[in-house]
């Protein structure tokens, strides 16, 4: 076995090995996430807390060994280290510093980094890979949507500030505060902490809500269309590969059949 095959085994994508390793790895991540929630129970005994802490240390040791193994066995170590999943693997190991340096145990950043390991469950997910390809295909259209949404949000913030500032100087004290209201209204969430009371402000909000419904539907349609196209292209690719495989299996049989020789006439 070559060292370049080890990351495939860890991912569970090796054609012959690695499925059991991948299932065990995902199970370990799931149990570690469950242990994080159990640690917050106030009535937990000291023995149970000690067991959970030992389990956390074992999980972090496994993650650190996995990261070093991937880094050493990668064809391009620097590219892996700077990739998204390489950064996720590194961040999953950083809470180990809380055991090495007890002064960092209370750091909120390290405690939050423990949740990053849950992203590792998506590393070998084929559905996530399809979504990633769909986002790559629609990145131009999504960039235009983000630019358009930012312009609409700014216009909404300025508009509601003009309509509501005099009636509610404390609620809509500035355009940045009004921008918060624009985001909440544009996404149709509506927390209700600040809202218009003037007739002009309410009419403006009504128009903004309808625009928000239409704009939010745009990226959903783009990504859905890209996912459907990726499914169709994948099916066509599989059909082509199956046809080629059948043709390759059929050709040797033709070569093995004895060829009939034409009778030669003697002159």
Question: 163, 198 in Cβ contact below 8 A?
Answer: yes
- Higher-pLDDT residue of 91 and 226 is 91
Rounded distance, CA 112 to CA 98, Å?
Answer: 12
pLDDT confidence band for 243 (50 / 70 / 90): low
| Pair of tokens at residue 101 | 């340096």
The pLDDT tens digits of the residues spanning 110-169 come to: 667 777 877 777 776 666 667 777 777 777 878 888 888 888 889 889 999 999 888 888
Residues of the chain with pLDDT > 90: what percent?
A: 2
For the chain, list the domains and their CATH numbers. Answer: 3-124 (1.20.120.350), 139-256 (1.10.287.70)
Question: 80, 69 in Cβ contact below 8 A?
Answer: no
Taking all residues of the chain, what is their mean pLDDT, rounded to a whole number?
78
Residues 6+ apart with CB under 8 A from 66: 10, 25, 89
According to DSSP, residue 264 is labeled: P
- Give pLDDT, residue 235: 57
Residue 249 CB: number of other CB atoms within 10 A?
9
- Give pLDDT, residue 144: 83
The pLDDT tens digits of the residues spanning 89-123 come to: 888 888 887 777 766 555 566 667 777 877 777 77
Question: 67, 96 in Cβ contact below 8 A?
Answer: no
Rounded distance, CA 47 to CA 31, Å?
Answer: 18
- Give pLDDT, residue 203: 92
Question: 186, 208 in Cβ contact below 8 A?
Answer: yes
Residues 6+ apart with CB under 8 A from 259: none
Residues 6+ apart with CB under 8 A from 9: 17, 18, 21
Which of 56, 75, 40 is closest to 117 using CA atoms?
Answer: 56
According to DSSP, residue 85 is labeled: H
Statement: residue 30 has pLDDT above 80: yes
């Amino acid at each position: 076995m070559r060292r370049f095959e080890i990351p495939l085994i860890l991912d569970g994508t090796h054609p012959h090995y690695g499925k059991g390793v991948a299932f065990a790895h995902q199970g370990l991540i799931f149990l570690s996430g469950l242990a994080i929630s159990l640690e917050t129970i106030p009535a937990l005994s000291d023995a149970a807390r000690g067991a959970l802490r030992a389990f956390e240390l074992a999980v972090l040791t496994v993650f650190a060994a996995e990261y070093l193994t991937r880094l050493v066995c990668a064809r391009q170590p620097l590219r892996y280290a700077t990739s998204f999943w390489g950064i996720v693997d590194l961040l999953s190991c950083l809470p180990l510093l809380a055991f090495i340096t007890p002064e960092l145990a209370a750091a909120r950043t390290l405690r939050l980094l423990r949740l990053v390991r849950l992203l590792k469950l998506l590393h070998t997910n084929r559905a996530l890979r399809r979504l990633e390809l769909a986002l790559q295909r629609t990145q131009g259209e999504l960039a235009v949507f983000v630019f358009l949404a930012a312009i609409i949000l700014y216009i909404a913030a300025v508009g509601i500030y003009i309509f509501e500032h005099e009636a509610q100087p404390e609620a809509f004290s500035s355009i940045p505060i009004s921008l918060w209201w624009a985001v909440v209204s544009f996404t149709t969430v509506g927390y209700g902490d600040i809202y218009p009371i003037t007739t002009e402000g309410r009419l403006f909000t009504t128009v903004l809500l309808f625009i928000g419904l239409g704009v939010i539907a745009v990226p959903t349609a783009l990504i859905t269309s890209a996912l459907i196209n990726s499914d169709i292209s994948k099916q066509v690719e599989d059909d082509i590969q199956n046809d080629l495989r059948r043709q390759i299996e059929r050709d040797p049989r033709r070569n093995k059949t004895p060829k009939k020789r034409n009778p030669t006439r003697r002159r």
